[in-house]
Amino acid sequence: MKNKSLHRRSFLQAASSAAACASIANRNGRAQGFYQANDRPRVAAIGTGSRWCQKATGLQGPYGSAPDFKKFGDYVTLCDADRSRTELAAALVKEWTGFQPSTPSDYRAILDDPKVDIVHISTPDHWHAKLLIESMLAGKDVYCEKPMTLTVPEGRAICDVAKKTGRIVQIGTQQRSSKQFVEAVALLQNGRIGKIKRAVCHIGGAPKSPEIPIAQAPKHLDWNLWQGPAAEAPFRFLASDNGETKSWSRCHYEFRWWYEYSGGKLTDWGAHHVDIATWGMGLTDTGPVEIIPEMVKHPVEFQDGYPTDPSRYNTATEFLLRAKFADGAEIEIRHDGDNGIMFEGTEGRLFVNRGRIAGKPVDDLKDNPLPGGALEAAYKNRPLVDHFQNFFEAARDRVEPISDVHSHHRALSTCHLAGIAARLNRKIAWDPKSETIQGDPQAQKLLAREPRKGFETQLG
């Protein structure tokens, strides 16, 4: 790694020098530099579960972002609350690079290391904001898996720190770099369905669980650290043939079905589809003015917005929630239907998901193609590339990546507000300018979370 130190310094210096950025960008072409040994930034991973790489969890599936991420940068440090996962991840990195990465138990060692250029965050949702903010303040660029936040105020804080520090942050909403989604946005921006009136986001429902007993956390898992900023709760685990962890639990993978750590499907698939809907409708600079829960089902009883049974999954299993905007447009979020987004306009409809793009505007492309450069224009005037490559190019060139914190904050705020409306099962009014809930102190109180003592975000 010593022969890379010269590039590491130049990579960091480029953050404050536009001239240096232009020089780097023009030297080897758009992405050539990332394939040269001396032109690869150092990467630290915080969180090495299945969304980082399934093989780090003992599974053999190809899922995870690290195998693609490593094409452009070298992992040199890994950190996870589960030492068994850290060890598996370290073995993978040594296999990829030939070098043994460091594996500190305290992520702050990563932030204090001047040789680390990029932090890759793949922790559970409730850790994202703290790690993202502290990484930016430490001078690191960041790739953060979705969703970016657990609460709306966290998103506002991230946006403010990103603006203050000038760090480059990409959120892992990779649909923004998929051709069919970019094509859909380009069609919408070119008026192919007229004025957009509504987008319907079909995101699927969440599972229920049986009663999950309190159990002893395994020795390789630091349960206190895993909980981090979330309120302290006992470890729960029940072995079964359920999901990738073959269990019901409050922990790995299954954390997303607990409001304490996530927002359920509303911030899982909602972070993807509501993001595309918001982008396609041109609403990334604002937010809804009203959220209406037409239908919500939870697996446990709720009182004052909080679940009353601590032993079972508690996020909404079925729902139909409607977000209304000041201009009359709507985003509908529902559990049923064909997974994907249906855009409805005054002159037609357009459907897009990860498998297809369909509708009359698509059929018409044969005789009425999009103008030249339409996809690039939708993609922030840059060539359409892989989501990870877009991030590394943005970090090198010091430009905004395709999935920036500001647009993601706005889209994800709609998901968080939908979750609050679902938990209270009543309509809430939202002021997108002040980012406050109007006329409902109880709902406003649910907007933020008090971090557990000892896990407050360090702002300086």
- Residue 67's SS3 state is helix
> For position 36, what pLDDT does the model report?
61
Give the total number of structural domains in the chain.
Answer: 2
Q: Which of 174, 191, 207 represents a domain boundary (last residue)? A: 174
State the pLDDT at residue 35: 57
Query: How does pLDDT run across 89-106, given as a tens digit for each residue?
Result: 999 999 999 999 999 999
* pLDDT, tens digit (0-9, with 9 covering 90-100), for 48-83: 999 999 999 998 877 899 999 999 999 999 999 999
With beta carbons less than 8 A apart as the criterion, state whether 286 and 326 touch. yes
Asked whether residue 122 falls in the same domain as residue 75, the answer is yes
In the block, residue with structure tokens 């001396």:
38
Q: Are residues 154 and 263 in the same domain?
A: no
pLDDT value, residue 28? 31
Gap between the terminal Cα atoms of the chain:
30
> Do 47 and 110 belong together in one domain?
yes
Residue 10 has pLDDT above 60, yes or no: no
Tell me the per-residue pLDDT of 102-155, one tens digit each, with 9 for 90 and over.
999 999 999 999 999 999 999 999 999 999 999 999 999 999 999 999 999 999
Amino acid at position 366, single letter: K
Q: Are residues 260 and 284 in the same domain?
A: yes
Residues 149 and 243 in one domain: no
Q: Return the percentage of the chain with pLDDT > 90, whole number.
A: 90
pLDDT at residue 6 is higher than 80: no
pLDDT on residue 161: 98
Which residues span the domain enclosing 241? 175-379+404-460
d(CA 264, CA 199): 20
Please report the pLDDT score of residue 449 as a whole number: 96
89 shares a domain with 8 = yes
Domain finish residue from 140, 174, 208: 174
Measure the CA–CA gap between 112 and 374, rounded to whole angstroms.
43
Residues 105 and 186 in one domain: no
Give 427-446 pLDDT, tens digit per residue. Answer: 999 999 999 999 999 999 99
Question: In whole angstroms, what separates CA 279 from the centre of its chain?
Answer: 15
Choice between 40 and 7, residue whose per-residue pLDDT is larger: 40
Q: Are residues 180 and 134 in the same domain?
A: no
pLDDT tens across 246-292, in order? 999 999 999 999 999 999 999 999 999 999 999 999 999 999 999 99
CATH of the domain at 8: 3.40.50.720
For residue 17, what pLDDT band results from cuts at 50, 70 and 90? very low
Q: Are β-strands 42-46 and 74-79 bridged in parallel, bridged antiparallel, or unpaired?
A: parallel
pLDDT digits over 399-424, tens only? 999 999 999 999 999 999 999 999 99
Output the six-digit token pair for 72. 């452009």
Residue 460 confidence (pLDDT): 75
Sign, CA dihedral 238-146-156-414, equals negative
